[in-house]
C-alpha cells in the first residue's frame, strides 16, 4: 500500500472514530426470565446505531410432565434509527432485529431435545442518557422465527408443538454507560 493511500485510510478511520459513540449495557432483570443479557451499542451517527447483545439462557420447560433445564447461547443484532435525538442515540427509536439461539434442554443430565432458532422482526424503544453517561434503555418487539428446529434422540418426546411456535419476541430493560 502506498503512503498516500495509507494516510487517506487513516484520516477516514480517525474521522469515523471521532464521531462514534459506544455504550455498554446490562439487563439486570433478565435473570428473572432465566437468562443473562449484556449488550454493546456502536453509533455511526447521531441517528443510527447497532446494538449487539450476546445472551446465555438457562430457563426451564416442562414437557410431558418432565422438567427440562436449558443451556443455550445466542446473539441479537439490532440496528436502530433514532428520531430527533438530543445527545445522539437517545430518545425514541425504531429498529429491526435478527436473533440466533442454540442449545439443549436436559433432565437428570440426559439431553431431552436440542433447539436451534433464527428469528427476525421489528422493535421500538426509548433511551434516556444522563450528562454523566449513565443510560436507561427500554424496548420491546416481535417477529417471526424463520428457523425453529427441535430435535430429540429420545423416544416418546413429541416436539410438534414446539416446532409450530414461530412467533418471536424481544425485550430490553437495560442500564449502562456511554463512553
Q: Is the pLDDT of residue 18 over 70?
A: no
| Cell representation of residue 3 | 503512503
pLDDT-based confidence at residue 12 (cuts at 50, 70, 90): low
Query: CA-to-CA distance for 112 and 114, rounded, in angstroms?
Result: 7
Between 68 and 74, name the one with better pLDDT. 74
SS (H, E, C) the chain: CCHHHHHHHHHHHHHHHHHCEEEEEECCCHHHHCEEEEEEEEECCCCEEEEEEEEEECCEEEECCEEEEEEEEEEEEEEEEECCCCCCCCEEEEEEEEEEEEEEEEECCEEEEEEEEEEEEEEEEEEEECCCCEEEEEEEEEEEEEEEEEECCCCCCCCHHHHHCCEEEEEEEEEEEEC
Position 45 pLDDT exceeds 60:
yes
Query: What is the rounded average pLDDT of the residues 104-122?
Result: 92
- 61 and 82 in contact (C-beta within 8 Å)? no
The pLDDT-based confidence of 159 (bands split at 50, 70, 90) is: confident
Per-residue model confidence (pLDDT) at position 8? 59
For the cut 60, the answer to whether the pLDDT of residue 14 exceeds it is no
Q: What is the pLDDT, as a whole number, of residue 54?
A: 97
> Taking all residues of the chain, what is their mean pLDDT, rounded to a whole number?
89
Query: Which domains are delineated in the chain?
Result: 21-178 (2.40.160.20)
Amino acid at each position: 500500500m502506498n503512503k498516500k493511500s495509507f494516510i487517506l485510510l487513516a484520516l477516514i478511520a480517525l474521522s469515523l472514530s471521532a464521531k462514534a459513540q459506544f455504550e455498554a449495557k446490562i439487563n439486570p432483570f433478565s435473570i428473572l426470565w432465566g437468562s443473562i443479557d449484556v449488550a454493546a451499542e456502536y453509533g455511526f451517527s447521531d441517528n443510527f446505531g447497532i446494538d449487539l447483545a450476546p445472551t446465555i439462557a438457562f430457563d426451564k420447560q416442562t414437557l410431558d410432565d418432565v422438567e427440562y433445564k436449558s443451556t443455550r447461547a445466542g446473539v441479537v443484532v439490532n440496528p436502530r434509527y433514532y428520531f430527533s435525538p438530543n445527545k445522539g442515540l437517545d430518545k425514541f427509536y425504531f429498529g429491526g432485529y435478527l436473533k440466533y439461539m442454540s442449545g439443549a434442554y436436559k433432565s437428570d443430565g440426559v439431553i431431552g431435545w436440542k433447539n436451534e432458532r433464527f428469528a427476525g422482526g421489528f422493535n421500538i424503544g426509548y433511551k434516556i442518557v444522563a450528562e454523566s453517561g449513565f443510560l436507561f434503555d427500554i424496548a420491546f418487539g416481535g417477529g417471526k422465527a424463520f428457523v425453529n428446529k427441535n430435535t430429540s434422540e429420545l423416544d416418546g418426546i413429541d416436539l410438534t408443538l414446539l416446532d409450530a411456535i414461530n412467533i418471536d419476541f424481544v425485550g430490553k430493560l437495560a442500564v449502562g454507560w456511554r463512553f
